[in-house]
Amino acid sequence: MSEKIYLWLEDREEKSGFVFWKTMMQQLFPEVVVQSKKNNSELIKAVKALDDETGSYIIVLDNSFDNLQLVSERKRLQHYVLPKKNIYLVDFVCFEYLLLEFEYLLDWIYAPEDEFRIKRQAAINARNKLVEMLCRNDWSYKTAREIISYEMNLKDHNVEQLSAKLLFDLTRNTGFEVSKGSIGECWINSCCDWQDRQSDDICGLDNSRLSVRDKMKQIFNHTSIHKELYGVFPEVFVC
């Protein structure tokens, strides 16, 4: 494609979601321009006001289906997207869920004999069940025994909040730790380019040592990112 491709996000530039997307595009698809619109409202305003017919715009807004405010905002966004032929709204639950559903998540963050595999078994079970249910579009995850036993206040949480809590609990105190405000060095750097790495910081990649490009490629190909972006531009998003 000769025209420019833009990826618009609601995340602020310093937030973990933006840093992740920026890293992935720089490594795999450098022709895609990643831009922050700071929040949902500003993202919707930008789409509404867009009059550029030469570029292509991929819009990433969380599809947290049990968050009524977000559902309403997404409907507003769809209203402005539909008439414009060069704007594409992709369907991701949220940034945190993309990493939760990554096929090799547990094999990356934990070494084979890591004690976290035992200590965090409740979170692991909840993550596995959540991914299993959402992969088959089963929205009754709040009835799943594994998830309920992990989060007793589940009725007060939407799927984005649950995904963020699960991802943090699984990755905390590792080089892959992810919170709303920051993303672990091990996601966005080549293996062991982490300046503060200690001798006992051993993960599942300790013997394979992947480059940051290889990490991004595996995440792209083993999450719903591939399906959504390849579905929009198959000639661009081949990895």
CATH number at residue 28: 3.40.50
Q: pLDDT tens digit string along 92-127?
A: 999 999 999 999 999 999 999 999 999 999 999 999
Question: Could you tell me if 225 and 187 lie in one domain?
Answer: no
pLDDT surpassing 60 at residue 34: yes
Alpha carbon distances (Å) from 209 to 26, 185, 193, 205: 20, 14, 10, 6
Answer whether residue 238 is part of any domain.
no
Question: Could you tell me if 61 and 143 lie in one domain?
Answer: no
Question: Could you tell me if 111 and 161 lie in one domain?
Answer: yes
Answer whether residue 239 is part of any domain.
no
With contact defined as beta carbons under 8 Å apart, do 45 and 129 qualify? no
Domain count of the fold of the chain: 2
Question: Could you tell me if 114 and 196 lie in one domain?
Answer: yes
pLDDT surpassing 90 at residue 18: yes
Question: Could you tell me if 113 and 164 lie in one domain?
Answer: yes
Answer whether residue 237 is part of any domain.
no
Q: What is the mean pLDDT of the chain?
A: 94
Q: Any idea which of 48-57, 140-149, 191-200 has the lowest mean pLDDT?
A: 191-200
Alpha carbon distances (Å) from 16 to 78, 87, 111, 150: 25, 24, 24, 24
Three-state secondary structure call for residue 185: helix
Question: Could you tell me if 126 and 57 lie in one domain?
Answer: no
With contact defined as beta carbons under 8 Å apart, do 77 and 48 qualify? no
pLDDT surpassing 80 at residue 198: no
Three-state secondary structure call for residue 179: coil
Answer whether residue 74 is part of any domain.
yes
Tell me the pLDDT band of 196, cut-offs 50, 70 and 90. Answer: low
pLDDT surpassing 80 at residue 200: no
Question: Could you tell me if 135 and 54 lie in one domain?
Answer: no
Question: Could you tell me if 100 and 128 lie in one domain?
Answer: yes
Answer whether residue 108 is part of any domain.
yes
% residues pLDDT > 70 (the chain)? 95
Answer whether residue 228 is part of any domain.
yes
Domain around 177: 96-209
Question: Could you tell me if 10 and 67 lie in one domain?
Answer: yes
Whole-number pLDDT of residue 176: 97
Question: Could you tell me if 203 and 106 lie in one domain?
Answer: yes
% residues pLDDT > 90 (the chain)? 88
Question: Could you tell me if 109 and 191 lie in one domain?
Answer: yes
